[in-house]
Structure formats: structure tokens, C-alpha cells
Structure 1
């Protein structure tokens, strides 16, 4: 215990003695004893030099560590920023590709005028409404939208305008059970009526029994009845239904448009349906929700 307490004192004497010797040596008074003293102090000099080197290395390591941490933080922030920019660029690229597809569609259909709209709401498979499959778009009466106008994408027919507000409209999808469209097969030219079905692909009814239709045939609008222009792609036949009890053939048609993934649509504003008079608006079927009492 006494030895432990005396160690700091011994160290102090050694350090003080070393400074005294160096002072005397600088004045030339240690000449005869210089070699002996240097040999005596060499271990302390080596230890001091090593300690100083270790301390310098430790301080340098600490500085390097702080620098690395700062650089790592900066790099992480850069990666996050570039990731966000890359996602934004991918979104812009996807939208640009869609707009180019719409432009190409409009160019190969110069007969019609189109107005592009964005989906702002969707109600697909809603049983509480008399119309189960609808979309809401950001175009309305102020944009020249009228009841019955066809709605399309570059892939084909979406449906028709069923309700018009000032700055928005409701689109009745061709998959809705209330939708009925005069169509024909593109190859065999077999006529029929495409009727929507809840939760299922539409069915092409009233196909003449003497006309041969096949799986894979493209179905287009026939233009009969005047409610849709002729030649709009509707879908593709996936199944032909025959029945001895039915005088007509039937075919299941898968729409070429994926309604669940729609973001943008085109309204054919230059086409006037033959008869939209008396066409009920969707709101006339719905019971308005009373406003909450304050």
C-alpha cells in the first residue's frame, strides 16, 4: 500500500530530475557524466517517445473516426436523395410513356377529338350503388364533357360518361351490369351485344348461331345504335358458350383495359351519342346522405 502511494512521488522526482539534468546539460555542466546519464535516462526517453507516438496516433485515429462518421452521414444523405430522385424520375418516365401512347393513339384516330383526364376516384364492385363499376375523372361540363361520351385509353374502350358535374364526371365501365354495347368480332364480323357482369368478365350475347367465332378473336364496337363509334377495341374472346336451349351463341370477353390500374383516360369529345335524352344520371338512383346536425 505504501509502495503504491509512493509511485506518483517517485515518478515526479524522475521527471523533475530529468528536466534538471537536461538544463544542466544545456549549460555544459554535465560533460563527464553525460554518457552515463544518457544511458540511465534512455529507457525513460524511449518510453516517453513511444507514449507520445501512441498519443498522437490515438488523436489521429479519433480525428479520422470523426471524419469517417461525417463522410458516412453525408454519403447516406446523398444515397437517400438520389433514391428519391430516381423514384421521381421513374414516375415521370412512366407517365411520359403513357402520354406518348395516348398521343400515338390520337394520331392513328384523327377522326376524333380527345380530352385527357385523370382518375380521381374509383368504385369497382360496390354493391351499395346501382352502378357497381365506375370511375371518377377530373373533367366536367366546364371542360366540354357531355353525357354519353365514350371513354378510352390507348388499349381500348373503358366505358361512357354516365354523370357530369362542373369539374368532374362519372364513367360507367363496360364491366358494369348496367352496361350494354353493340359489338362484333374483328375477324369473323359476327355481331352481338356486350353485357357487363358483376365481378366477372363481360359476355357477348346474341351471336348468330350460323357464324363461327373463336377463342382469341378481338371484339370491337360495331357502331350500331349510335352510342359508340365503330372500331373501338373492347376485348378478346376467352371462351365460347354453346347451349342447345339457346338460339344464339355467347362468348366471354376479357377487356383489354385493366380497370384496376387505370390512371389516365381519354374522352372522345367529338362524338355525340345518338340518343342520351332521358338517360338517368347515377345520382338519381342514390339516396343522398343527410348532412350531420351541428
Structure 2
């Protein structure tokens, strides 16, 4: 009984204080106290608000950085993929240009049958007699190739088939020291022999001493000897060696074919070199 009376007394006291505080607030007597309290509390509220904003912004920044890192990685992979694709497309474009030029050459020279082949390995190897200049192509006996067949590009003569295997053939270049080709100057029609050298350059020898020769003259195969068709471009004169006491003059040639850039070649398959044994029969 006494405890209930005590509870009611505390309740009455609190209610009275509340009513008095409300009356004082309405009358404006507690405003100074509220001002002081707000002055004390406000800096803490601002600090708490700043810390909250800073924490929230930091979390957002970390999340954005993670997103940017992921996007950057995705973009890097995409750039790598596009780079590889661009290289592949450039290679296809270059290959198509080469094949188109070869097709134009074939159409401009319909008198021969051709077998297209890709250069699969260019080799310059030393043998006991000096340097040999040759490369391999990916066509061979199964494709109807035979030794002696001329090998050309749209720019001119490359060489001749020297050895034939089932799936490949070896092409001896015109720059090889063992190569000797009957040729003539397009301008003067003077004849001579174009030979390879150990250094890999071409020299036209046995040109008549009185024949006019000029730098820039085009040299073509003469067909003499029956080893090659007539009229295949070999190169251009870049230097002339003429001595009054010599029986013949010589010329240094620049091949029209760039042997360092060869990727595809054409083999003239319906030309067979003349054989003395076959001719005697």
C-alpha cells in the first residue's frame, strides 16, 4: 500500500515538472537555457555529421574505384582483342593485295599455266662451294611440279625449281652463284648472261662492247638455251662496267623482285626446260 502511494507521488512530481517546464517554455523563460544548450551541442552535432558524411563519401569512393578498376580491366582486354584483330585484318589485307596483283599478272599473261604457292621457309645456307640462295614452297610432286619449272611473282623472275618433294619444292634463286640466265636489254635488244654472285647481287656479263647500255634499262629473259620462257623481267641496270680493252662490257642489276619480302609465288607449270637428251632423241 505504501509502495503504490510512493509511485503515485513520483508520477505527480514528474507530471508537475513537465507541466511547469511546458509553461515556462511557452512563456519564453527557458530560451536562454536552450540557447546555451544548443551552443554546446551544435559543434558536436556538426562534427558527428561531418564524420558521417566523410565515412559515407569514403565508402562511395572505394566502391567507385573498384568499379573503375573492373571497367579498366575489361577495357584493357577489349583493347588487346581489338589490337590482335586489327593485326589479323591488316595481314589479310596485305595478302589480298599480293594475291590480287598475282591474279592481274596471270590474266595479263594467259599463255602459261600457273600453280600458286606460299613461301614456307626462305633459306640461305653455306655449302662447301660457297653460298646457296634458295627457299622452300608448299607445293610439290603431288601438285604436278617438276625440276626446272620457272618461279615468278607479278614483279618478275624469282628462280627455278631445283628439287621436288611430295609436299614441297626447293626454289633456287636467280641470285645464287650457280644461276646463269640468257637475257637481253629491252632498249637495245643486246644479249648477255645474267649470273648470281656469292654476295647475292646480279651481274649481266658478255654484253657486246658496242651495245648501248644505260642505267635504268630493263633486262628480260631471252629464252636462249630453252631453260626459261622469253620475256620474264629480271631486273634493271644500276651500274655499268665498260673498259675499252675488254671484249665485253658488264652491268650490275637490281632485281625487280624483293626476295626479303616474298610470301607467295607462282610456278609456271606448262613450261619444261629443254633437255639435250630429249632433243637428241
- TM-score bracket, normalised by the shorter chain, equals 0.7 to 0.9
- CA distance in 1 between partners of 2:77 and 2:166 (Å): 45
C-alpha deviation, 1:123, in angstroms? 2.1
Q: Kindly indicate whether the alpha-carbon contact (under 8 Å) linking 2:207 and 2:250 is maintained by their aligned counterparts in 1.
A: yes
Q: Kindly indicate whether the alpha-carbon contact (under 8 Å) linking 2:176 and 2:200 is maintained by their aligned counterparts in 1.
A: no
C-alpha deviation, 1:215, in angstroms? 1.2
User: Which residue number corresponds to residue 186 of structure 1?
Assistant: 186
Unaligned runs of 5+ in 1: 1-27, 279-294
CA distance change for structure 1 residues 237 and 207 in 2, over 3 Å: closer, same or farther? same
C-alpha deviation, 1:253, in angstroms? 1.3
C-alpha deviation, 1:81, in angstroms? 1.3
Q: Kindly indicate whether the alpha-carbon contact (under 8 Å) linking 2:131 and 2:198 is maintained by their aligned counterparts in 1.
A: no
User: Which residue number corresponds to residue 35 of structure 1?
Assistant: 34
C-alpha deviation, 1:56, in angstroms? 0.9
Provide the aligned C-alpha RMSD in A.
2.1
User: Which residue number corresponds to residue 80 of structure 1?
Assistant: 80
User: Which residue number corresponds to residue 94 of structure 1?
Assistant: 94
User: Which residue number corresponds to residue 221 of structure 1?
Assistant: 221
CA distance change for structure 1 residues 276 and 53 in 2, over 3 Å: closer, same or farther? farther
Q: Within 5 Å, which residues of 2 pair with 1:117-128?
A: 117-124=117-124, 126-128=126-128
User: Which residue number corresponds to residue 238 of structure 2?
Assistant: 238
User: Which residue number corresponds to residue 204 of structure 2?
Assistant: 204
User: Which residue number corresponds to residue 54 of structure 2?
Assistant: 54
Q: Kindly indicate whether the alpha-carbon contact (under 8 Å) linking 2:220 and 2:232 is maintained by their aligned counterparts in 1.
A: yes
- TM-score normalized with structure 2 length: 0.83
C-alpha deviation, 1:78, in angstroms? 1.4
User: Which residue number corresponds to residue 7 of structure 1?
Assistant: none
- TM-score normalized with structure 1 length: 0.80
C-alpha deviation, 1:51, in angstroms? 1.2
CA distance change for structure 1 residues 209 and 130 in 2, over 3 Å: closer, same or farther? same
User: Which residue number corresponds to residue 135 of structure 2?
Assistant: 135
- CA distance in 2 between partners of 1:276 and 1:265 (Å): 28
Give aligned pairs, total: 251
C-alpha deviation, 1:200, in angstroms? 4.0
